[in-house]
Amino acid sequence: MTPCNVALLKRSIAGPVREHFPLSPLTTFGVGGSADVCIWPASTQDLVTLVKMKEDTSLNIIGGGSNLIISDGDIKGFVLCTKYLSSFSLFRKNNEVDIEVGTGVSLGVLVSFGLRYGFSGMEFGIGIPGTVGGAIIGNAGVQGETVSDVIQWVEVVDESGEVLRFKKEELPWGYRRSVLQERNYIVTACGLRLQAKDPYWVKEKADNFLQKRKSQPRGFKSAGCIFKNPDGESAGKLLDECGCKGLRVGGAIVSEAHANFILNMGDAKAADIWALIEECRRRVFEKTGYVLELEVRGF
């Protein structure tokens, strides 16, 4: 996009627009180059305007930045950050509550709401630093509970700038996937339905999820689990059995605590992480025949 068009974009949307903006601070991995143009839409209308103005310019999206590896060097085109798409409203009825949330709302906000008021359905999100939008795209979950269990509808902006709303049943869901991964949609908001429970019961359930997370490495930058679990197997167990713990490329290392985590030891580059990912996949395939699928994404 030309400087003239960027100037027009800045006048056309309410949210901030920054040029040559460093992206590594926006991710939990702490890697990545700078965006040609970084945009923080303030509303769905901002998104509609952006999509209609971008023409052939590439568009990448950052939510919580927790499941993402951004390439080194300059990132061409637009990078969209969902931070300010954070609407939150609720409607109580009997033993349920319907919540409408913007795509940029953190999972932690939903977990805290459930804990405070005794609503169950999002406890699995405790300790996950992502946003609602990212959770929907990847059908985030833990131990058989997923965000699709509580979804009622999803609102998106399509590639022509039209706002669409889909019922849950219209969107096929699977293990760590949704059909939204395959479409050029931008998630703007969703409706969730939580169940009223005893607050102490909700807290106990959340604590159980949190306890299981204690085996995961802490104190270093990472993107969480790198690979999906194959059917009937644990990716971490396969990686461990194939000697991946402790493997290192540059500033990136496979965690000794959990082999499905790659850690940034402070000076890792995206290229280091991708090289380590490919080495881990190679070892697992050569020894077991499993082709590990990525849980993280990149651009």
Residue (of 156, 154, 135) closest to 66 by Cα position: 135
DSSP state of 228: P
Indicate which residue of 81, 190, 225, 280 is catalytic: 225
Q: Could you give phi then psi for residue 193, rounded to 5 degrees?
A: -125, 120
Is 225 assigned a catalytic role? yes
User: What is the number of residues in the chain?
Assistant: 299
CA atoms in the 13 A half-sphere facing the CB of 254: 25
Given 3-state DSSP classes, what are the helix, strand and coil percentages for the chain, each rounded to the nearest 5? Answer: 35, 30, 35
Instruction: For residue 290, count other CB atoms closer than 10 A to its CB.
Output: 16
Residues 6+ apart with CB under 8 A from 56: none
Indicate which residue of 38, 176, 193, 280 is catalytic: 176
Determine the angle formed by the axes of helices 3-12 and 44-54, rounding to 10 degrees: 160
CA distance 166 to 170: 6
CA distance 248 to 240: 14
Contact criterion met (CB below 8 Å) for 130 and 107:
yes
Contact criterion met (CB below 8 Å) for 67 and 224:
yes
Is 190 assigned a catalytic role? no
Catalytic residue positions, numbered: 176, 225, 295
